[in-house]
Amino acid sequence: MRIGELAARAGTTTRTLRYYESRGLLAARRTDNGYRSYDEADLRLLQQIRTLQDFGFELEETRPFVDCLRAGHPAGDTCPASLAVYRRKLAELDALIGELGAVRAQVGAELARAEVMAAAETPGGPEPRCELSADKAIEGTMS
């Protein structure tokens, strides 16, 4: 198949395919008239790359998976190098989850503190008003 068909079937652009080719992730064969030619194995490589990128993998992190497929494995994640990338990515995600958990705890503590302060400021009195009411916000967007 030609580059346009491959791009359409993979849900990407011809520009992206040329970029992958320049990075060595996709190898185009050339027909007698010089057109790029691809096959179903190339489509499988692209599907692997796109799936990993959807998961948050950087393009270079997909290389071991592509190499695994090119080596003839039925899946790109059964080779030792691919498994190592999975392990590194999981460690990164665990670290991010830990950081987000700490931030969440801080925000929760600030909210609790602010609610106590707000309640102390208005014992039985009117609630404090924000300077920008909903009506003024709507007016500002219509102007």
pLDDT digits (tens, 9 = 90+) for 108-143: 999 999 988 888 877 665 565 656 555 555 555 555
Q: How many residues can be counted in the chain? A: 143
Tell me which residue range forms the domain holding 7.
3-122
How many CB atoms lie under 10 A from the CB of residue 18? Answer: 15
| Residue 134 included in any domain | no
| Residue 27 included in any domain | yes
Total count of domains within the chain: 1
How many CB atoms lie under 10 A from the CB of residue 82? Answer: 24
Distances (CA, A) of 104 to 88, 97, 120, 132: 24, 10, 24, 27
Residue (of 90, 33, 24, 12) closest to 57 by Cα position? 90
Identify the three-state secondary structure at position 23.
Answer: coil
Percent of the chain with pLDDT over 70: 85
pTM of the model: 0.69
